[in-house]
Structures are given as structure tokens and as C-alpha cells.
Structure 1
Amino acid sequence: MHLHAALITTLAVLLNILAIYFVGRARGKYQIKAPATAGHPDFERVFRAHQNTLEQTVLFLPVLWLASSYANETTAMGLGYAWLVGRTWYLFGYMQEAGKRSMGFLIGALAAVGLLGMAMVGIVMRMLG
């Protein structure tokens, strides 16, 4: 039934909502009026952390569901949760200091690449089998 994929998807949406909240809070704190996206370095880091998380979510969700559907659901679940941990680490690290985002990025990227590989192999095997 893919309950873990559904939960991971919901948590990914919540992570993006949290990032939106942080951008709004930073706009007020640093008095950055919309639609401006620049002005204070601390605001810009929060804004980029949100944008990067949103960009990665668009890539992550399809491969999560494809890997969960066409490959090993348990492994896809583990990689999905790893992506969430990595992206959360990335978001909070980047908001503090740009250099603190690297490990979170690496964890999330490896999880996403793993899901992509699983999805591709699973789909091809179904097509051949």
C-alpha cells in the first residue's frame, strides 16, 4: 500500500512548509519586502535554503514513488527517510552558515540518486520480465 512513501511525502511537504515559514520570518526580521529576494546575507541564506529544498523535492518525490512501486519498498523507505534527514540537516545548516549545509546535501543527494537507480532498474526489469 506504500504507506511509508505516503508518510515520507507528507513529511517532505511539511519540511517545505517549515522552510516557507522561515523565509517569511526572515523577511520580517530583515525587512525584505516581497518580491525582493536579496538584501541581507542572512535573509538570502534562508531564502536559498528554501529554494534549494523545493528544487530537490521536485526531483525526490517521483523517484521515491517509482522506487517504492517498482523496486524494493523497504529499501526505498530507508532512502526516503535518509533524504528527509539530509534535507532537514541541509535546511537548518544553511540557515546558520553556508558551510554547514554540505553533509546534509550529501546525504540527500546520495539518497535521491539511490532511489533513481532503484526506480530505473525496477522499471527496466518489469519491462523485460
Structure 2
Amino acid sequence: MDHEVVGCFVLLVIITLLSVVQNAFFASKVELESKSYTSKTFQRAGPSAFERVFTANQNCRDAYPTFLAVLWCAGLLCSQAPAAFAGLIYLFVRQKYFVGYMGERTQSTPGYIFGKRIILFLFLMSVAGVLNYYLVLFFGSDFEMYIKTITSTISPLLLIP
């Protein structure tokens, strides 16, 4: 594969692989919690600790396809570095949500809200990339440099809680 082409999306691939490892970690926590309350079989009904871990894992898995879609769209259509940065922050936030959910459910709320904000940022980056594509196609006006500058400037603001 061409080295230049790989460079265009290597950060997105790294974030995607990290998210896969995180999903495997969450699944292993569910399996471990399940086995600690039952012998060797996995069963859905169980003690409240198992229910919390299982529900946290389900919630993270439900948001995962949306995260991947907006991560890749934002990175390919807008700018790879800010999208990868937002994706990395999202993985940390998702970890905070998962751990918070295992404790008190109210501890998971900040992670949930922060995660929604990052998904919105990635979505807006994707929309900006699509709009720029059609502006170039129909009018010949390319705002790619402006969009990259704005997203690079705004992405560190995602760290503000």
C-alpha cells in the first residue's frame, strides 16, 4: 500500500484498534463478573454488581457504531488529527463512564454527557466536510483550510468539562 495513502488515515486506524481493545476489556469484565456469581455458565439474571457491569457494557456497545461512523467520516472528510484527538478523548470518557457505572449510577453521568459532546463535535466535523465537498463540486469554493484550522483550534476545547 502507498505510504502516503496510509498516512492519511493511520491515526483513525490506531483509535479504532484502541476502541476494539477497550471493547474486549469491557466484555471480559462482564464475563468475569458473571463467573464470580455463577459457576461456569453465562447468565443474564444475577446480582446487582453483575447487572451494573452488563448494563454499562451494553450502553457502550450501543454507542460504538455511531462513534466509529462519525470518527471515520470526520477524519476522512474534514481533518484526521482533530478527529483522532476527539476519538482518543472519547475512549477515555467511555472508560470513565464504564467505571462510574460500576459504582453509583450517578457517577457515570459526567462521562455520558462528555461523550455526547464529543460525538456531536465529530458529527459537526463530518457535516462540515460534506458541505465543503459539495461547495467545491458545485461552486468551486474550497474551504478545507478554514475548516481544518477551526477544528484544530476547537478540538483542545473538548478537554474542558
- What TM-score does the superposition give when structure 2 sets the normalisation length? 0.75
Alignment counterpart, residue 93 of structure 1, candidates 97, 100, 113? 100
Q: Is the CA contact 1:2–1:68 (under 8 Å) kept in the aligned structure 2?
A: yes
By how many angstroms is 1:128 displaced? 2.1
Alignment counterpart, residue 122 of structure 2, candidates 105, 115, 121? 115
Which one-letter code corresponds to 2:92 in the other structure? V
Partner of 2:59: 52
Q: Which has the larger radius of gyration?
A: 2
Partner of 1:84: 91
By how many angstroms is 1:77 displaced? 1.7
Q: Is the CA contact 1:93–1:101 (under 8 Å) kept in the aligned structure 2?
A: yes
Identical aligned residues as a percent: 30
- What TM-score does the superposition give when structure 1 sets the normalisation length? 0.92
By how many angstroms is 1:39 displaced? 2.3
**Hey, what's the Cα distance between the residues in 2 that align with 1:97 and 1:29?**
20
By how many angstroms is 1:38 displaced? 2.5
By how many angstroms is 1:97 displaced? 2.2
Larger RCO (CA within 8 A; separation ≥ 6): 1
By how many angstroms is 1:81 displaced? 1.1
* Gapped regions of structure 1 (runs ≥ 5): none
Q: 4+ runs of 1 displaced by more than 6 Å?
A: none
Partner of 2:37: 30
CA offset digits 1:64-102 (Å, max 9, x no partner): 000000112222122111111110111111112212111
**Hey, what's the Cα distance between the residues in 1 that align with 2:9 and 2:52?**
35
Partner of 1:67: 74
SS in 2 for 1:2: helix
Which one-letter code corresponds to 1:63 in the other structure? V
Q: Is the CA contact 1:23–1:47 (under 8 Å) kept in the aligned structure 2?
A: yes
* Gapped regions of structure 2 (runs ≥ 5): 1-7, 137-161
Partner of 2:49: 42
**Hey, what's the Cα distance between the residues in 2 that align with 1:78 and 1:108?**
13
Between the two proteins, the alignment pairs up a number of residues equal to 128
Which one-letter code corresponds to 1:89 in the other structure? K
**RMSD of equivalent CA atoms:** 1.4
By how many angstroms is 1:126 displaced? 0.4
Alignment counterpart, residue 20 of structure 1, candidates 19, 24, 27? 27
